[in-house]
Amino acid sequence: METRIIDGAALARSIRTDLTARVAALAAKNARPGLAVVLVGDDPASQVYVRNKSRACNEAGIASFQHTLAASTSQQELLALVGKLNADPAVHGILVQLPVPKHISADAIIRAIAPEKDVDGFHPENVGLLATGNARFVPCTPAGVMRLLAHAGVDLAGRHAVVVGRSNIVGKPMALLLLEKHATVTICHSRTPDLGAVIRQADVVVAAVGKARMITADMVKSGAAVIDVGINRIPDGPDAGKLCGDVDFAGLLGRAGCMTPVPGGVGPMTIALLLENTVLAAELATLKS
């Protein structure tokens, strides 16, 4: 079987191009979407993500306000910044890059973000709206996965989708979105015995575990659609230091029906959907004012 490679970079570009018309319509009303990105500490991977998010904003005509705080920042100080951003009319979206340092409660920070500025879709109000089928801001990575599946023509109704990983950022919202499209959904995680036996039943696999190349060809049904959310560094061997996903991409060629690469699959989609959520936040704010 020939495996179709799903080009996330190209799809993300077309989403970003489509956004320019919406940004122009806002500009005609003297409104410019604005995204505040807050980074606490100096995790190198987070620094790269945050830089990429700011650059993408600038290209799309979205104002970006970057706040880089020391790892020693207290929860109170971070809450004060969030409060200021909540009150700033130039800021339509607020993203606090996760993880935050251990002495700060991520839940407390997420709850402090105004739900109508929560472009990550992590606030309990937005999680509840998503869970009840009334989504406002869908978390960017799972939203990007759904667009990739639609773009690849993968029919979800009645199909078995297996999500590997149960995080609040990817696994749980992913399962809700697949369910909404009438898939039969299984969520697997680190305590699932015989992961391979479960994944082998899947018509659609979404891998979001954070373990380099852990999903191998023998674990995947022939013809399955495989979406790889993982971004890992290869620990050793000839490709040490390079990026790879949770899926053994080379091993699955010829077995998966379609598959996303890493890099160039889900990653660029996450950023495109963040821009889309920010434009949506600005549109909703403009409607209200």
Catalytic residues, by residue number, are 53, 97, 120
Cβ atoms of residues 143 and 275 within 8 Å: no
The closest alpha carbon to 203, from 187, 226, 219, belongs to: 226
Rounded CA-CA distance 168/224 in Å is: 25
The closest alpha carbon to 54, from 85, 93, 26, 13, belongs to: 93
**Residue 243 Cβ vs ligand GUN, minimum distance, rounded to whole Å:** 15
**Residue 191 Cβ vs ligand GUN, minimum distance, rounded to whole Å:** 22
Nearer to ligand GUN, 4 or 84 (CB): 84
Nearer to ligand GUN, 96 or 219 (CB): 96
Rounded CA-CA distance 289/284 in Å is: 9
Strand 160-164 relative to strand 184-188: parallel, antiparallel, unpaired? parallel
Per-residue DSSP letter, 247:
B
Nearer to ligand GUN, 95 or 202 (CB): 95
Strand, coil or helix: 195: helix
For ligand GUN, the binding residues (CB under 6 A) are 95-98, 120, 140-141, 169
Nearer to ligand GUN, 96 or 215 (CB): 96
Nearer to ligand GUN, 11 or 169 (CB): 169
Cβ atoms of residues 164 and 208 within 8 Å: yes
28: which residues sit within 8 A by CB, 6+ positions away? none
Rounded CA-CA distance 82/94 in Å is: 8
Residue nearest to ligand GUN (CB): 98
**Residue 255 Cβ vs ligand GUN, minimum distance, rounded to whole Å:** 28
**Residue 141 Cβ vs ligand GUN, minimum distance, rounded to whole Å:** 6
Distances, alpha carbon 221 to alpha carbons 109, 196, 211, 241, in Å: 41, 10, 20, 30
**What stretch of H or E contains 281?**
helix 266-288
**Residue 77 Cβ vs ligand GUN, minimum distance, rounded to whole Å:** 18
Cβ atoms of residues 204 and 182 within 8 Å: no
Nearer to ligand GUN, 123 or 213 (CB): 123
**Residue 99 Cβ vs ligand GUN, minimum distance, rounded to whole Å:** 7
88: which residues sit within 8 A by CB, 6+ positions away? 36
Q: How many CB atoms lie within 10 A of CB 87?
A: 9
